[in-house]
Amino acid sequence: MRSDLGYSPDNPITVGGGRVFAAFNEQQYLRRLRGPGGAPLEFRRRGSTGGPRILDIYEIESAEPLVLLLDPYRPGPNGVPDGFTLDRPDEPWALATSIVPVDPSAPAPPPAGPAKWRMVGADGATYGFVDFGAGGAVTVDMPQHTGALLRERVDLFVGMTPPEYRAGVLADVLERVIPWESRGAMRGIPEAARAEPGWSGPVWGTENDGQTRRRWWPFGRGRAG
C-alpha cells in the first residue's frame, strides 16, 4: 500500500526548524532526497497552507506535477516519501533542533544559563570564542574581519528570535548553520564538549597561537535564512 507521507496534509514530512530555521531545515532535507535513478531534485517553495497546522508546500520538478508538504514546527525527519530515496542514508542529519513557534502564547522553554563556544576551523585551529551571557547578551571574541562576518550572521538569526529561545537558536547557528555555510571551514564547539575525551584541537593563547589562530574566512554558501 502506498504511503501518503509528504503527500497528505494529515501526514506531512516533519523537519523541525520552526519560524527561524524552517527554510534551512527544509532545504537540507530536500537536498538529500533523490528521484528516479538517484538524481538530485529540483524544487521550489510555493507557499504555505493555512489553518492551525502550517505546512510549507514544495513543488518538485518531474514529468507530472508533484508537491510535497513539509512541517517545520515538529521535529524530524520522520521518513522518506514514496517514489524517493535518501542520499547517504547512514549519515546523521545536521538540522537545526530549536523550534521557535508561530504562536506567541505557546509554552516557552526553561531559562537557559550562560554558554560558550570555541569557533574552530576544519583542522581544529581556533578562530575565537562566542559567549551567551546570563542576561542573553551575545559576545563575539574573534579577529576583526572574521568576527564581523560571524556577528552579522548571529545578529540576523538571534535578532528575529524571542529572548527565551535565543540560546537554542544561537547553538543552531554556530553548530549547524555556520558549518554548512562555510563548507566545513568553521564550526562552533560547546566548551563542555571540548573537555570530553577525544578533543585534540589547539588552544588559543598557547605558544602556538600565531600558527593556530585564523584571521579571515569568507562565508561561501550564501544565505540560509
Q: Mapped to the 3 state alphabet, what secondary structure does 117-130 carry? A: EEEECCCCCEEEEE
In a domain, 109, yes or no: no
* Cα angle 61, 14, 136; round to 5: 120
Same domain, 64 and 128: no
Mean pLDDT for 110-134 is 93
Mean pLDDT for 91-99 is 96
Cell of 168: 537554542
Dihedrals φ, ψ of 211, to 5°?
-90, -25
Number of domains in the chain: 2
E strands present in 148-216: 187-190
Range with the poorest average pLDDT among 65-69, 197-201, 206-210: 206-210
pLDDT confidence bin for 207, thresholds 50/70/90: very low
CB 115 within 8 A of CB 68: no
Average pLDDT score over the chain: 86
Q: Which of 48, 67, 86 is the last residue of a domain?
A: 86
Cell of 14: 516533519
Same domain, 122 and 82: no
Same domain, 128 and 201: yes
In a domain, 218, yes or no: no
The half-sphere exposure of 196 on its side-chain side, counting CA atoms within 13 A, is 5
This prediction has a pTM of 0.82
Same domain, 126 and 200: yes
Q: In which order are the strands placed within the sheet that holds 66-71?
A: 13-14, 66-71, 56-60, 43-48
Same domain, 75 and 18: yes
Q: State the residue for C-alpha cell 507557499.
A: 47
In a domain, 101, yes or no: no
Q: Which domain holds residue 37?
A: 13-86
User: Where do the H-state alpha helices sit in 6-108?
Assistant: 18-32
Residue (of 181, 135, 183, 122) closest to 154 by Cα position: 181
User: Residue 81's pLDDT is what?
Assistant: 96
Same domain, 122 and 205: yes
Q: Which of 69, 86, 103 is the last residue of a domain?
A: 86
Identity of the residue numbered 65: P
Tell me the pLDDT tens digit for each residue of 67-77: 999 999 999 99
> Which residues are CB-contacts of 33 (< 8 A; sequence separation ≥ 6)?
41, 80, 81, 84, 85, 86, 87
In a domain, 191, yes or no: yes
User: Residue 195's pLDDT is what?
Assistant: 45
In a domain, 220, yes or no: no
CB 33 within 8 A of CB 44: no
User: pLDDT at residue 123 above 50?
Assistant: yes
Residue (of 8, 1, 28, 30) closest to 17 by Cα position: 28
In a domain, 158, yes or no: yes
Tell me the pLDDT tens digit for each residue of 141-157: 999 899 999 999 999 99
Same domain, 128 and 68: no
